[in-house]
Structure 1
Amino acid sequence: MRAPLSIIIPVLNGEGELPHAIASLVEGLEAGLIRELVVSDGGSSDGSCGLAEEAGAVLVSGAAGRGGQLARGADAAGGAWLLFLHADTVLAAGWAEVVRAHIASEQRAGYFRLRFAASGFWPWFVAGWANLRSRLFGLPYGDQGLLISRDLYDAVGGFKDMALMEDVAMARSLKRQLRGLPMEAVTSAARYQDAGWARQSARNLWRLVRYLAGADPERLRRGYQMW
């Protein structure tokens, strides 16, 4: 019987982060859980594609844009379950058993608890808000990962080829078919550290409010560095 899980990672010039994300997946290979790794490239000019090929990943290419890259990655995947991860996200040790248990007992999609690869009040506070938002409003972001069966993914129409907010659109499509997983996804804090924790958090919240109020994702994308 084939392993059930396809892992899909979108990348754009991510050679600095991608090796760490791939390394955290090894326990899933050792557990016989992973069928394939699909890396969906958006036109990298660095060594990202070479790293993916060295890791034995299925490499798909197309226009930059995380929604479209996720959708193309899913189209290339053959697993009964899909796990979408960002290239700067590392799964905590023990994730494979948590995912195996979810696949065996759940039809709903799952997401991880967020933690930043940084210490201090602001990383704790921002991650805490993200986890609370996910639990209360069913709105996990892409850096928390998404574990979803192929059947459910197809039923809700998959990822939209959007300029921004593809993760929020997916969460809203899933409605109450989401469950938090008891495991952490550790993501880079670089964007927050560059812009300032309070400023970046305020920007993210304002974009979310505008999107939920009907703003065009292309307009929201302007001035936002997705990668």
Structure 2
Amino acid sequence: MSLSDSDVVLSVIVPVLNEAGVIPELLTELMVLCEQSEVGVEIIFVDGGSSDNSVGLIAASPFRVLAGPQGRARQMNFGAAAAAGSYLLFLHADTQLPDWAFSRVITALQSGLWGRFDVRIRGDAPMFKVIAWFMNWRSRLSGIATGDQGIFVRETAFIEAGGFPDQPLMEDIALSALLRDREAPVCLRNKVETSGRRWQKRGIWRTILLMWRLRYLYWRGVPAEQLASRYD
């Protein structure tokens, strides 16, 4: 999958840190999506200092892996700076894209400035369907997207917004707010599927209440650096 910079239309940027458990499936999925695409797509992984075999697995694939600074916002900004595409898609390692996702993103960005997918949560808990419905509804109402929804944006708009703010939490919310001030997002109803591990690890209701509280405090002006310690 060797492309010259002039051939690349879409750059997909994936920050990783100790994600060896999900990377093989992600690599397979991305290869299929690249084959589906009629235009040039590059995949850029940015490692934040993994101590597992994440880098080795990616290095054995056709995709690029860069050693970047630690911290998801910094990793994504680092990847964007190295990207050749005029369109950018930021993808979490545990998020699966729908079929023809790259074509859908390119079509959306030909008329819009930025956007995101709807989301479903992977797992057996019936409550996951309710959580995902509220996430998608809230995003449409507020014009704010989360990283789990696969944020995509024109490179020019991303640069003009200053990229992801350099903060350890809520970087997706902060970028969304900056982009929303310019234009409402394109909200694709095609669903990405994100892992339910965060909810399963802490407990579903405990995680819901925690995220509501953190977002409320962030909205009230509490620095993300303070909130990050409560999230860990």
* TM-score normalised per structure 1: 0.93
Q: Secondary structure of the residue that 2:156 maps to in structure 1?
A: helix
Tell me if the contact between 2:117 and 2:190 (Cα under 8 Å) persists in the aligned partners: yes
CA distance in 1, matches of 2:204, 2:39: 36
Unpaired stretches in structure 1, ≥5 consecutive residues = none
How far off its partner does 1:88 sit?
Answer: 0.4
- Name 2:3's counterpart in structure 1: none
Unpaired stretches in structure 2, ≥5 consecutive residues = 1-5
CA distance in 2, matches of 1:29, 1:11: 20
CA distance in 2, matches of 1:209, 1:33: 41
Pick one of 176, 190, 193 that aligns with 2:200: 193
Q: Is 1:133 paired with 2:138?
A: yes
Tell me if the contact between 1:42 and 1:63 (Cα under 8 Å) persists in the aligned partners: yes
CA distance in 1, matches of 2:107, 2:145: 20
Tell me if the contact between 1:41 and 1:61 (Cα under 8 Å) persists in the aligned partners: yes
Q: Secondary structure of the residue that 1:25 maps to in structure 2?
A: helix
How far off its partner does 1:143 sit?
Answer: 0.7
The one-character-per-residue Cα deviations of 1:122-156 (angstroms, maximum 9, x if unpaired) are 10011111101110001211010111111111111
Q: Which amino acid aligns with 2:7?
A: R
Tell me if the contact between 2:10 and 2:106 (Cα under 8 Å) persists in the aligned partners: no
Pick one of 12, 23, 26 that aligns with 1:18: 23
Give the aligned CA root-mean-square deviation in angstroms.
1.5
How far off its partner does 1:34 sit?
Answer: 4.2
- Name 1:2's counterpart in structure 2: 7
How far off its partner does 1:92 sit?
Answer: 1.8
Identity, in percent, stands at 34
How far off its partner does 1:157 sit?
Answer: 1.1
- Name 1:211's counterpart in structure 2: 218
Bigger CA drift: 84-93 or 60-69? 60-69
Tell me if the contact between 1:7 and 1:34 (Cα under 8 Å) persists in the aligned partners: no
Pick one of 160, 174, 187 that aligns with 1:180: 187
* TM-score normalised per structure 2: 0.91
Q: Which amino acid aligns with 2:221?
A: G
CA distance in 2, matches of 1:125, 1:49: 35
- Name 2:231's counterpart in structure 1: 224
Tell me if the contact between 1:192 and 1:200 (Cα under 8 Å) persists in the aligned partners: yes
The size of the alignment, in residue pairs, is 224
Q: Secondary structure of the residue that 1:38 maps to in structure 2?
A: strand
Q: Are the structure 2 counterparts of residues 89 and 34 from structure 1 closer, same or farther at C-alpha, using a change threshold of 3 Å?
A: farther
